Amino acid sequence: MLNGARRLFQSWVRVSPKDFWMAVAISTLFMLGALALVWTHVKKIELAYEYQELAKKNRHLSRENHLLNLERESLRSLHRVSLLAKNEMKMKEPDVDRVVTIFLK
């Protein structure tokens, strides 16, 4: 295949075989360099899209975490526990004479 290309090229331009292979080597190196530059840009764009997707997911999970923390704190509030105990469990505060206070050292 390269011999056919070399003959075709030599029919258009009169060059020696050494010069032909030099031109092929230089053009191959140039193409590899250009490919390396293009590949880095494509990879950078790909990573930028992935970063945007992960940042969006991070914002969503942070928002959900904040809401879950608020819900946990509201469920743990002493006022709510007291209301549930009085209304749903029919509990009542103990009489003052039945409360015993223990002091620890």
| CB 15, CB 9: distance < 8 Å | yes
| CB 95, CB 101: distance < 8 Å | no
- Confidence at residue 20, expressed as pLDDT on a 0 to 100 scale: 77
Give kind and range of the element (H or E) at residue 97: none
Distance, in Å, from the CA atom of 84 to the CA atom of 75, rounded to the nearest integer, reads: 11
Average pLDDT across each block of 10 residues of the chain; the chain has 105 residues. List them in order.
72 76 91 93 96 98 97 90 89 88 86
Q: Is 68 exposed, middle or buried (0-12, 13-18, 19+ CB in 10 A)?
A: exposed
- Confidence at residue 10, expressed as pLDDT on a 0 to 100 scale: 67
- Confidence at residue 54, expressed as pLDDT on a 0 to 100 scale: 98
Q: Which residues have C-beta within 8 Å of that of residue 24, sequence separation ≥ 6?
A: 2
The ranges assigned to domains in the chain are 2-89
- Confidence at residue 47, expressed as pLDDT on a 0 to 100 scale: 97
| CB 6, CB 20: distance < 8 Å | yes
